[in-house]
Amino acid sequence: MVYTQALVFGHRMPASSEEDNLVEMLRKFVHHIKYGKHFENGGRLRKTMSSSSLGSECCMEDEFEEASLLSSLTKRIEKCLAEAKKTTLRCHQLLLPRHMIARVAGDILRAAVDEPCGIRGALINVFLDTDGKLQKLGIVTPDQSVTPTFELSVILKTQLESWPSLQHLFGSDKELRLRSEYRLIKRKLYSSASPTIHEFY
């Protein structure tokens, strides 16, 4: 839905000027859809604030940025795992099912849809579950300029046969495989509501 600019209180614009502005805005909107160009405000459709939300600095992400958001979040999670491979996990290879990280990123984006700041208000913790023992791999913050309003914990799982009990004998040559199943736990930071747990297979 497209929102027009609100009238400035106390200064009503002539009808012809309003129509011209509306026509120009619609022209830009159609041009954006047809040629993939960005609006001058950064490529986002901003919702006109009502009197009940004038203090809010957050805006909803529009559908035109979904692919970009998915790509960006996927890269951030991949970077988190790459760093964990060298430090926390200390393994030679970290093997994941095909497109798994993109699938995780997509599920995270869907979990953020009903949040006031969308994915920008997320604090994402990444864990590894090895035979019931959780190991923190890192934190992903999509937008550090926004105070997090909710927390997501992504719990990845290992294939037990790829993590031998005598792993300390293998040094940096060990190989770690992740299963396609994972758990996503969502918790609102400023609410007493119970966390929501999702299992993905």
Contact assessment for residue 161 and residue 190, using Cβ atoms and an 8 Å cutoff = no
Question: Residue 16's pLDDT band (boundaries 50, 70, 90)?
Answer: very low
Residue 142 confidence (pLDDT): 94
- Cross-strand partners of 91: none
Question: Residue 92's pLDDT band (boundaries 50, 70, 90)?
Answer: confident
CA separation for the pair 40, 25 (Å, rounded):
11
Higher pLDDT, 113 or 36: 113
The domain locations on the chain are 1-56, 63-200
Residue range 133-157: mean pLDDT, rounded: 96
pLDDT, averaged across the chain? 75
Question: Residue 82's pLDDT band (boundaries 50, 70, 90)?
Answer: very high
pLDDT of 168 strictly over 50: no
- Please report, for residues 46, 83, 90, 125, 127, the alpha-carbon distance to residue 87 in angstroms, rounded to integers and kept in the order given: 41, 6, 5, 16, 14
- Architecture per CATH, domain 63-200, reads as Alpha-Beta Complex (3.90)
pLDDT of 48 strictly over 50: no
3-state secondary structure of 10: coil
pLDDT digits (tens, 9 = 90+) for 112-121: 999 999 999 9
Residue range 46-72: mean pLDDT, rounded: 59
- The sign of the dihedral angle between the CA atoms of 113, 115, 120, 124 is negative
Residue range 164-179: mean pLDDT, rounded: 64
